[in-house]
Every structure is written in C-alpha cells, then in structure tokens.
Amino acid sequence: MKHWNEECAVVGVYGVENASWLAYYSLFAMQHRGQEASGMSVFDGEAIQTHKAQGLVCEVFNQSTLSNLKGNIAIGHNRYATAGKNSSLDAQPLYARCSLGEISVVHNGNLTNAGILRERLTQEGSIFQSFLDTEVILHLIAKSKKESFEECIKEALKSIRGAYCLIFVLRDKMIVARDPYGLRPLSLGKIKSEKGEGYIVASESCAFDLLGAEYVRDVNAGEMLVFHNDKITSTQLFSPKDFKCIFEYIYFARPDSQVFGKNVYSIRKEMGRELARECKIESDIVVPVPDSGVPSALGYALESGIPFELGIIRNHYVGRTFIESEQSIRELKVKLKLNPIKEVIEGKRVIVLDDSVVRGTTSRQIVKILKNAGAKEVHLLISSPPTISPCFYGVDTPSKQELICATHTLDEVRKYVRADSLHFLSLEGLAKSVGSNEGYCQACFDGKYIENCFKSEDEEE
C-alpha cells in the first residue's frame, strides 16, 4: 500500500463561466497540499479538455493554457506523492473514454484495497498506465454494466476501501463522492457571478476565501452529490462513520481554512495552550518553528506568560523536509529553510515549539541551529502526541521503523535531537484541543486503524 500513499488537493467548479480560472486560483490557494504536479479537466460544451504536467500550479498553467480550457465545469488537482514517484503519468486528473462517454476524475486519499483490486482487474484484462489507485476506480466504472455514469460510480464505490474525496466531470455533469469515514476534508461552497450562482467543492475552504465564495457545509461522509442543470442532488450512499483525520489540524491544512467544520488556526492555538497546562518550563522566550508551529507557540506563550518571539525565519521557497528520500538532502534543506535571529536567541533559555516529530532529522537540526546561535538552553515542545505508526489513508509517512518515536524511548529521542528537554502534547490534551476524542482517526498516534478500510467487499461478505 505504501506505493500509493499521497496527500493532495482537489477542486471542482460548476456552473460558472471561465471555471478553469476559478479552479486555477483554488489550486494556487491549496498549493501546500501538493507540489509535484498539477492538472485540470474542463467541459467546454462539446468535450472534456485536460491539461496536466509536473510542477507547481503557476508552472503548469499560464494565460494561454487557461484560455484554451473554456467551459463552466472544471475539476483540478495538486499532487503530492511518495518520493521517487515522479511520473507525468501519475499526474491527475485521469481521463478515460468508455461505452457511456467521456469521464475525468480527481482524487484525494488512498485506497487500502487498491492492490487487491488492481491484481483482479489485471487478470480480467485491464491495462494500467499509472501507479495511481485512482485508475482502479476508472476501470471499475468502465467495467460496470449499469446504464448511467451515476450508477456505475455507485457500484464502483461499493468495491473500494480506504480514504477518498472524488470529483468527476461527465460532460454536462459534475459528481462528488466522499468515503464513509470522511477521512479527508471536502467542503461545498457557492459562487455568485454576473450570470447567476455556481458551486465549488474543494479540499480546504481557503480556496473559497480567495474567490469570494460562500462556505455552505462539508460534504457528508458517505455522500454523493450530482451537479446537473444548475441543481444539486444529494444521495447518502453509505452510513457515515465519522473518522476524520486529526493530522489535518496538526500539519496539513492552512491555518485560515475551515476543516471538518472548525477553524484550523484556533485549534492549533488551543493545542499550544493545552501544552502549556501540561508542561510548565522556566524559560525566557517561546519560539515557533515556522510556519505550522506559529499558532501553537502563540497559544503556549499566552497561557504561560512567557514572551513570544519570532526567533527563526523561514525561507518559503524550500519544500517540506520529510518528502525527500535521502537523509543528507533533508538535512541540507533544513539549513536552507530555517535561519535563526542571533540577537533574539543568544544567551536565552528557549522553548522551541513544533507541530510533530517524524524521523527526528528536522528537530535535531533545529536544536543545533538554536544552540549555534547562542541559546543557553533549548527545550523542544511538540504540539501533538508522538507519531508511532504510519498512515495508510492518504498521508505520506515513513514506515514504522523510520518513525523515531516508534523505535526509541522519549529520553532516547531527546538525546538524539540534543534538546535539554523534550515534551509532547498528550492524547488527552489533543482531544481537549479539538473538542472531543470521538470521531477522529489518530492511528498515527495510537496505532488503532479502521479495520474495514482494509477489507475488500468479498472479505466482508
């Protein structure tokens, strides 16, 4: 399953003139969710046109390409994949022409039974052109004997397991589907234009803010929405299980987004407050690891009364460190990415606050950077529990053997990162921060996976 791990952004725009431009700006707003490739499919009134390539949104699209993608229905995708899978064939959307006509799809998530389905489909004669589990869905749809795309999609969804937010464009329709657990976020909004009202569906609500769209609600877990003739039809395909990914609040989502109906910034700030209640340290300043550590550091500073300082400055043109496959590259990128302000750090007892520890490489480098800048003490605080298990539902995390908190004691991790002390937010503190410990998947912290996500339809029967 680790060959298909990905964590991406999807967007769908319906019923708005120049939908491609709105999809483009939405993808730009969600660039943080995937930087490997970007793509878009647009129905121009006669056929589905698709453009995709490796690179950032602003590299893949320009005024010329967007001008050629005319139409009032558009779907788009930003891809983030496991290191080493740099193939243009794995960029989305995926387009196909079958007996019922044209179809294009974008997918955020990970199918845990994709390998089983892929093997079965291959034995039945299907030919795959990518490593994407999304392609499995297209083959299931194409092989269905149902008489409409809607029914074919419903039948395909009964066979797949795991996490998925899917957006299809079928000539004059757009169809949206979310897995029964609601693992990955997906929100519905309204867009007003000179010619009326349209709709947008996106992984994060920050895409709505950029377009001036109105947030309506989250797409329900297990729900399918059909956009056709300027109307939305909702069908609850599966009973919702409500098992949302808690890591969205910790790291992936933008702080200005509404995710699972809650503001990310407020939750991260509360995580810092909870950490201050759990862990009281004598210190001179609280310093965040930018950018995702900033809200929790603010919360810690407010709760503890210790001054907040921006003691580390981030270079925003360097990507996320744990994506890189080689240790030496990750270590170099940390130095390129983060630089301390010596005048703020020197001679101080520093609390440095980060969102998580994966391999420990980044944390070790951050402690080293601060001590080289003259910090008297460095206390590393993490606004989430120790990451002890990999994710199989659409987040790229290393194997269990590579997760330092899964293979070492807390003191061993502290010694490795060379901090004077090391503290993590407890599972109880995390639950208080998000408002409940019910309805969230926190398998990365407690190793408790959703059993049915791994079962095929045949196994369940």
Which residue among 8, 206, 245, 441 is the active-site one? 8
Residue 362 near residue 321 (C-beta atoms within 8 A): yes
8: annotated active-site residue = yes
For 429: left if phi > 0, alpha if psi spans -120 to 50, otherwise beta; the answer is alpha
Four-residue CA torsion sign, 266, 272, 278, 282: negative
- Dihedral of CA atoms 254, 260, 264, 267 in degrees, nearest 10, equals -160
Q: Which amino acid is at 211?
A: L
Nearest-angstrom CA–CA distance, 346 and 287: 13
Angle subtended at Cα 171 by Cα 165 and Cα 177, rounded to the nearest 5 degrees? 15
Give CA angle at 304 (300, 307), nearest 5°. 80
- Secondary structure class of 77 (helix, strand, coil): strand
Cα–Cα dist 31/199, whole Å: 21
Strand 377-382 vs strand 421-424: parallel, antiparallel, or unpaired? parallel
DSSP, collapsed to helix, strand or coil, labels residue 47 as coil
Cβ burial of 301 (10 Å; 0-12, 13-18, 19+) is buried
Cis peptide before 93 (omega within 30 of 0): yes
Q: Which residues have CB under 8 Å from 378's CB, separation 6+?
A: 350, 352, 367, 370, 371, 418, 419, 420
- In angstroms, the Cα distances linking 102 to 176, 343, 349 are 16, 61, 62
Residues serving a catalytic function are 8
